[in-house]
């Protein structure tokens, strides 16, 4: 048989669950170490893992880590390989991580042509061909997510799975026409 509990009784039960938390000692925010952990590997500046590939008239800098199923990681605008350091460290024990400085970023040259997402997606496609990889899983962050989407749309045979994070999903003055309207999606 179900008991009828008053609203006051209900709230008292909820508060009784949280009351012990009020009694516990916590460090003041000023004492907490909120700095991200320092990585042991100089991602983005690692001579042991880095190389240049001549692609579409530029030198594209890339690094590879680990072995197994290949994963392409793509950084966001204005960033470089080093911004993906924690993701590289997390995934490299489980798969072969391929990460490149996009055209005009980090150690990669910009070239003479206009810089576009499409051009950067084609650069990564050429890199994957040069490295003779089987289909890769792609992890793209921000503009890297948009580049990953374009790589998947334009070269579906090269991509196994795609994870795009923090991408622009609405039209704005910066993006006059959403990507999904500019590209023809292939449906299976």
Q: From CA 143, how far away is CA 112, in angstroms rounded? A: 21
* Residue pair 145/74 in contact by the 8 Å Cβ criterion: yes
Please give the domain boundaries of the chain with CATH numbers for all domains: 30-182 (3.40.50.1820)
Res 32 pLDDT > 70: no
Contacts of 44 (CB under 8 A, 6+ apart): 63, 80, 81, 82, 83, 85, 101, 106, 107
- Predicted pLDDT of residue 135: 96
pLDDT tens-place string over residues 92-151: 999 999 999 999 999 999 998 888 999 999 999 999 999 999 899 999 999 999 999 999
**What is the value of pTM for the model shown?**
0.72
């Amino acid at each position: 048989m179900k008991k009828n509990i008053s609203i006051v009784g209900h709230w008292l039960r909820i508060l009784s669950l949280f009351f012990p938390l009020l009694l516990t000692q916590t460090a003041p925010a000023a004492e907490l170490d909120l700095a991200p952990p320092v990585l042991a590997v100089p991602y983005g500046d690692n001579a042991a893992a880095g190389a240049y590939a001549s692609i579409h008239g530029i030198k594209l800098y890339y690094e590879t880590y680990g072995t197994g199923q290949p994963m392409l990681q793509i950084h966001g605008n204005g960033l470089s390989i080093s911004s993906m350091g924690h993701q590289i460290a997390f995934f490299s024990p489980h798969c072969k991580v391929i990460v490149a400085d996009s055209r005009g970023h980090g150690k990669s040259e910009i070239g003479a042509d206009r810089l576009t997402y499409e051009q950067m997606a084609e650069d990564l496609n050429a890199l994957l061909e040069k490295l003779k990889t089987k289909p890769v899983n792609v992890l793209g962050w921000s503009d890297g997510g948009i580049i990953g989407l374009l790589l998947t749309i334009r070269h579906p045979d090269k991509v196994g799975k795609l994870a795009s994070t923090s991408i622009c999903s609405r039209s704005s003055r910066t993006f006059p026409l959403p990507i999904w309207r500019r590209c023809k999606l292939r449906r299976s």
